[in-house]
Amino acid sequence: MTLQNDLLLRTARGELTERVPVWMMRQAGRVLPQYRAVREQAGSFITLAKTPELAAEVTIQPVDAFDVDAAIIFSDILVVPEAMGLPYEMIESRGPVFPQTVRSMSELSRLRVADAESDLGYVLDAIKLTKKELNNRVPLIGFAGAPFTIFCYMTEGKGSKTFSVAKKLLYTDPDFAHALLQQITDSTIAYLQAQIRAGADLIQIFDSWAGILSPEQYTTFSLPYIKQICDLIAGPPDRNVPVTVFAKGAFFARQDIGQLSCDVVGLDWNMDPHESRQLIPNRVLQGNLDPCVLYADFAQIRTEVKRMLDGFGHQHYIANLGHGIYPDTDPDKAKCFVDAVKELGAA
């Protein structure tokens, strides 16, 4: 089965391509009115995510609406803790909440390594169905949170600006922190391997809270676990599924991330393209337009896209935002971003 549009995969594998591929982090389920209609039909985010037919539908919506070069499976990074035995709730306009947290060895002993097929079968079914319905139009991206980012939510129990409860544990009980991080890592490796078997064409690891750590803590508590994932999920050579590591805010770790066995390094808008190329000479780069640029007028969006393309160059580069698209973005502005990359990003 060959993809009609495999631009993203060829670029991710390090090939020279005819233009810069483009997609947007969090492109599914945030800005489209079509999404909100399906979300209402489902009743809740979690029901939607657990209903493969609906998850496939909202995964494909941005491909139709924006003509992006990839789809990303509609799910959430927090399905992994749930599969480990720590269920979450998604509270309207507040975000995810874990009614129970895990902050000690004894609490950890109640959790298990997730079994991908039985505990996360609904995501695997959604991937299989999406692949079928996409009918080889574009590649499908699978994903998971990086162990440290998942650790933040499991210990803190909810979103936070500082994640000081989570960070405190790194200092007060590092043995527990490492034990939980390892259990998340083992769950994530099995889960991503299963996503690849189900048909995911590329895997992205989201370390959304990397930037709250000091360089030393990042080296101790995040990087080694991402390394294990990268080393183990590459899969059989005939599948050759590229891996992207996106560590938001971890400008200090770019050199180290660039030496992992990953193919693509995702960057946020604080990271300068030229400096990033110097620090990460042998990887494809992805990013990094400030999502707030999409609040500007159409002409300004094009100007900023041009500046970004000039900064990265048109090869070994995947255009994206520097973090997820914000929910109140005008879909026409998102389309303008995608169109501008396609128009200005030829080889």
Q: List the binding residues for substrate.
A: 26-30, 76, 153, 208, 323
CA distance 255 to 277: 10
CA distances from 10 to 72, 130, 185, 201 (A): 17, 21, 28, 11
Percent helix, strand and coil across the chain, each rounded to 5?
A: 50, 10, 35
Q: Which is nearer to ligand CP3, 125 or 173 (CB)?
A: 125
Give bridge partners of residue 141 from the DSSP assignment: 72, 202
Residue 102: helix, strand or coil by DSSP? coil
Residues 104-110: contacts with CB under 8 Å, at least 24 apart: 104/173, 104/176, 105/173, 105/175, 105/176, 105/179, 108/176, 108/179, 108/180, 108/183, 110/85
Q: Which range binds ligand CP3 by CB under 6 A, 25-33, 107-115, 122-130, 160-168?
A: 25-33
Which one is catalytic: 67, 76, 173, 339? 76
* CB 94 to ligand CP3: min, Å: 8
CB–CB of 315/17 below 8 Å? yes
Q: Which is nearer to ligand CP3, 57 or 302 (CB)?
A: 57
Which lies closer to ligand CP3 via its Cβ, residue 74 or residue 312?
74
Number of residues that bind ligand CP3 (CB under 6 A): 22
Residue 95 binds ligand CP3 (CB under 6 A): yes
Whose Cβ is closer to ligand CP3: residue 38's or residue 189's? 38
Q: Which residues contact 192 (CB under 8 A, 6 or more apart)?
A: 142, 144, 200, 203, 229, 233
Q: Which of 17, 27, 61, 244 binds ligand CP3 (CB under 6 A)?
A: 27
β-bridge partners, 22: 319
Question: Is 238 a known active-site residue?
Answer: no
Q: How far is the CB of 72 from ligand CP3 (least distance, A)?
A: 4
Residue 96 as a binder of ligand CP3 (CB under 6 A): the answer is yes
Q: Is 26 in the site for ligand CP3 (CB under 6 A)?
A: yes
153 has catalytic annotation: yes
Q: How far apart are CA 28 and CA 211, in angstroms?
A: 24
Is 249 a binding residue for ligand CP3 by CB under 6 A? The answer is no
Active-site residue, from 13, 39, 137, 197: 39
Which is the catalytic residue, given 19, 69, 88, 153? 153
Q: Is 173 in the site for ligand CP3 (CB under 6 A)?
A: no
Q: Which of 208, 244, 276, 286 binds ligand CP3 (CB under 6 A)?
A: 208
Token pair, residue 99, equals 């009614």
> Distances in Å between the alpha carbon of 273 and those of 139, 145, 219, 248, 322?
26, 24, 23, 15, 12
152 binds ligand CP3 (CB under 6 A): no
Which range, of 71-79, 235-243, 255-263, 274-282, touches ligand CP3 by CB under 6 A?
71-79
Residue 251 DSSP code: G
Tokens representing 132 are 């079928």
d(CA 229, CA 188): 8
Comparing C-alpha atoms, which of 226, 283, 274 is closest to residue 250?
A: 226
- Minimum Å distance from CB 249 to ligand CP3? 10
32 binds ligand CP3 (CB under 6 A): no
Instruction: Say whether residue 87 binds ligand CP3 (CB under 6 A).
Output: no
Query: Which position among 9, 72, 116, 129 is part of the footprint of ligand CP3 (CB under 6 A)?
Result: 72
187 binds ligand CP3 (CB under 6 A): no
Instruction: By CB under 6 A, tell whether 39 contacts ligand CP3.
Output: yes
Q: Please indicate whether residue 76 is annotated as part of the active site.
A: yes
**Contacts with 236 (C-beta within 8 Å, 6 or more apart), sequence order:** none
The answer to the question of residue 45 lying near ligand CP3 (CB under 6 A) is: yes
Alpha carbon distance 104, 92 (integer Å): 29
Active site residues: 26, 30, 39, 76, 153
Binding site for ligand CP3 (CB under 6 A): 25-30, 39, 45, 72, 74-78, 90, 95-96, 143, 159, 206, 208, 324
